[in-house]
Amino acid sequence: MKKKCNFLTFLFLFLAFSIYSQNSGSKWTFGLGLSSVQYSEEDVRNSPIKGKFISQSPRFSLAKYMFPGVTFVGSVSTAIGDNQDYTTFDGVARYDFKTSQNSTVPYVLIGGSFVKALRLTPTMNIGAGSTFWFSDKYGVNIQAMYKVSQEKFGSQRSHLMTSIGLVYSFKGRNTNPRLWDICR
């Protein structure tokens, strides 16, 4: 199963970069970071989950700015070196209040995940975060996401996932827009 998961991760990244190369005018970003998962004490006591905290490294993200205020993001992360198995494949839509040209870009998100722990389990995700751009190509992203898992999935409980990572913009961002750049 581990080989299959590694293959899917490789395929996801390969296809993502292939898609990018077909349209150089697109607003694509790539992120590399760390994440952690926290369960409540009650969920740990009443389920097969082995611990309250799972550290995940690495977390890979690929984002595409779709239209004003909306960005689609695909991410994958896994627990390497932790005593618990946890791999997540996330897909979210972020709304940034049309602040994507600013150096600080707060956002809210909604989406879904497939979490592979004891079994593959779907979750619905809601959350918020922000990207802090410190140059035209590099930024830091922080995010908190609550993953809602239905009670019928006994192998997984609802939980909080937080992440931090470095973000790279393939096409440099215009951090000092002129009037005619804004009016386009």
Domain boundaries, position 157: 28-171
User: Of 66, 79, 72, 62, which is closest to residue 11 (Cα–Cα)?
Assistant: 62
Q: Please tell me the predicted confidence (pLDDT) of residue 175.
A: 61
Position 63 confidence tier, pLDDT thresholds 50, 70, 90: very high
Position 138 confidence tier, pLDDT thresholds 50, 70, 90: very high
Residue 140 within any structural domain of the chain: yes
Cβ(103)–Cβ(90) below 8 Å: no
Task: Write out pLDDT tens, residues 23-50.
Answer: 334 589 999 999 999 998 887 787 777 7
Residue 5 within any structural domain of the chain: no
The number of distinct structural domains making up the chain is 1
Residue 62 within any structural domain of the chain: yes
Residue 164 within any structural domain of the chain: yes
Residue 3 within any structural domain of the chain: no
SS3 content of the chain, % helix, strand, coil (to 5): 15, 50, 35
User: Of 14, 135, 130, which is closest to residue 74 (Cα–Cα)?
Assistant: 14
Residue 4 within any structural domain of the chain: no
Cβ(85)–Cβ(77) below 8 Å: no
- DSSP code of 101? T
Residue 92 within any structural domain of the chain: yes
pLDDT for residue 68 is more than 50: yes
Domain CATH for 135: 2.40.160.20
Type of residue found at 104: T
Task: Write out pLDDT tens, residues 91-107.
Answer: 999 999 999 889 999 99
* Tokens 């909604």, residue located: 110
What is the distance between the alpha carbons of residues 41 and 19, in angstroms, rounded to a whole number? 42
Residue 12 within any structural domain of the chain: no
Cβ(57)–Cβ(37) below 8 Å: no
pTM for this entry: 0.81
